[in-house]
């Protein structure tokens, strides 16, 4: 859907798959604009594309134009870009581009690969870090395609950084999705005004009405207009090659010690109907809560249970740890297939417990028999952390270790390629795997997974377990 929205601005058609052969000078001071993304002769991405194409298919009609593309890149963006394209490339290059796009599947593949590596992977990670849905992902993608890679104030990285630093915080930091996406559009439009490229019916005009209508998931009938043309879709099934591939999700942080990162690769080997993209709200990674506003979000957590009741206090979910089982419980609407969930977990003090005083992070399914769950539990009565795949509330073969409050501060469950993993981390950034096993069938057969944050003790004085930053990327 993001490709279709951007394609209407780049190529005046929803069908981005017909844009491989597109090439023209649209008078925007970028020289020639071409292909499925809108590669341009002045910025270097068109040059990189043709270089990669030549590496994979040396005998191609565009290889001879690499020196001309290098000249266009040296001239760069500005009033001279059109002249450079016409002089160093010209009509012969445009004809060669069209011929390669129409006749060579390798050239079309390279365009898709470059779109992914240059644009899609980065905006996907950033949208996930912001905690936004499919509409937010589409906005990220369109800004990156339009403004290019970079951290200066006019490029994608600078625009996103400015929005995150504003009062309109992203949802992952407790902000309003509508306010944050509007701020992204505001900052982006300021850049376009500075370029003299802003139009009231231009690119932000695609997204602002959708934000106002609350179409964050891009479901149902979606209508928009750009540059005077109107379009619509009704939750279409994306083309095969918009989905197939391996996507690297990377969260990293840099400090005086160095750079640490956490990588997850999500692979789509064949098209899936309807949902399933990384922006799909049913992916469990998209259940995000900072617990920062001292009010339980009952939309995210409609099924809480136990007495005394759970609260939200001091920037954390707080669960009374007493003889009753007290929990936050999400709706059963998620899937762990190709996704992950992580949280900071602070277990209760022992306080006189005999054999149980625990905090537990659980994933359960409405369709599975009662007592079936994937869990990571810390029991301070025994001083252990336990990684289990429970049936009837227990697993004899569960993996246990001596609990360490620093080493096991963060816990994560993830599923990829038919394997289930249990991980821990000191900081929510760099993870250590503690256990893996083939994914139980109930984990991936339906979108009915609930997240449960639970506390319980068998004896002693009631106190609290706490949880923080569910699926909130750390830095």
User: Which residues are annotated as catalytic?
Assistant: 10, 28
Distance from C-alpha of 196 to C-alpha of 240, rounded to nearest angstrom: 37
DSSP secondary structure of 216-235: TT--SEEEEEETTEEEEEES
Using alpha carbons only, what angle is made at residue 259 by residues 253 and 264, rounded to the nearest 5 degrees? 65
Residue 51: CB atoms within 10 Å: 16
**Using N-to-C axis directions, what is the helix angle for 121-130 and 134-147, rounded to 10°?**
130
Q: Please, how many CA atoms are within 13 Å of residue 425, restricted to the half-sphere of its CB?
A: 19
First-residue to last-residue Cα distance in the chain? 30
**Residue 286 near residue 133 (C-beta atoms within 8 A):** yes
| Backbone torsion region of residue 351, taken as left when φ is above 0, otherwise alpha when ψ lies between -120 and 50, otherwise beta | left
- b/e map of 340-357 (b: 16 or more CB within 10 Å)? bbbbbbbbbebeebeebb
Using alpha carbons only, what angle is made at residue 419 by residues 418 and 425, rounded to the nearest 5 degrees? 145
Q: Under 8 Å CB-to-CB from 438, ≥6 apart: which residues?
A: 418, 419, 420
Return the closest-CA partner of residue 359 out of 469, 450, 456: 456
Distance from C-alpha of 3 to C-alpha of 239, rounded to nearest angstrom: 10
Name the CA dihedral angle for 407, 412, 415, 421, rounded to a multiple of 10 degrees: 30
């Amino acid at each position: 859907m993001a490709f279709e929205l951007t394609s209407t601005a780049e190529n005046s058609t929803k069908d981005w798959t017909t844009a491989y052969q597109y090439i023209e000078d649209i008078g925007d001071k970028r020289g020639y604009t071409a292909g499925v993304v809108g590669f341009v002769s002045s910025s270097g991405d068109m040059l990189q594309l043709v270089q990669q194409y030549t590496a994979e298919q040396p005998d191609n009609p565009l290889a001879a134009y690499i020196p001309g593309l290098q000249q266009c890149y040296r001239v760069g963006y500005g009033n001279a870009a059109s002249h450079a394209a016409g002089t160093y490339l010209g009509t012969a290059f445009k004809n060669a581009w069209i011929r390669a796009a129409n006749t060579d599947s390798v050239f079309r593949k390279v365009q898709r690969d470059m779109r992914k590596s240059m644009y899609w992977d980065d905006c996907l990670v950033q949208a996930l870090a912001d905690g936004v849905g499919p509409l937010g992902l589409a906005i990220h993608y369109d800004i990156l395609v339009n403004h290019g890679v970079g951290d200066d104030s006019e490029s994608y990285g600078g625009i996103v950084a400015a929005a995150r630093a504003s009062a309109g915080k992203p949802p992952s930091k407790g902000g309003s999705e509508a306010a944050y996406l509007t701020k992204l559009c505001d900052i982006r439009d300021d850049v376009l005004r500075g370029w003299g490229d802003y139009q009231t019916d231009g690119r932000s005009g695609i997204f602002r009405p959708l934000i106002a209508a609350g179409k964050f998931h891009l479901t149902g009938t979606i209508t928009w207009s750009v540059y005077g043309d109107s379009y619509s879709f009704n939750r279409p099934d994306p083309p095969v090659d918009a989905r197939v591939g391996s996507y690297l999700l990377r969260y990293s942080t840099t400090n005086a010690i160095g750079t640490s990162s956490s990588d997850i690769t999500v692979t789509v080997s064949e098209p899936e109907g309807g949902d399933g993209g990384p922006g799909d709200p049913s992916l469990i990674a998209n259940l995000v809560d900072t617990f920062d506003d001292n009010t339980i979000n009952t939309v995210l957590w409609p099924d809480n249970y136990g007495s005394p009741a759970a609260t939200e206090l001091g920037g954390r979910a707080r669960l009374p740890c007493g003889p009753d089982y007290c929990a936050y419980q999400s709706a059963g609407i998620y899937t762990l297939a190709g996704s992950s969930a992580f949280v900071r977990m602070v277990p209760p003090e022992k306080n006189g417990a005999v054999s149980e005083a625990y905090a537990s992070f659980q994933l359960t399914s409405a369709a599975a028999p009662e007592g079936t769950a994937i869990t990571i539990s810390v029991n301070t009565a025994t001083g252990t952390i336990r990684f289990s795949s429970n049936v009837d509330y227990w697993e004899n073969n569960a993996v246990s270790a001596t609990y360490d409050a620093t080493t096991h501060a963060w816990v994560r469950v993830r599923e990829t390629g038919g394997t289930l993993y249990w991980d821990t981390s000191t900081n929510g950034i760099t993870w250590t795997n503690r256990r893996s096993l083939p994914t139980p069938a109930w984990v991936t057969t339906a979108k009915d997974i609930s997240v449960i944050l639970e506390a319980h003790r068998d004896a002693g004085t009631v106190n609290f377990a706490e949880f923080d930053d569910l699926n909130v990327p750390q830095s």
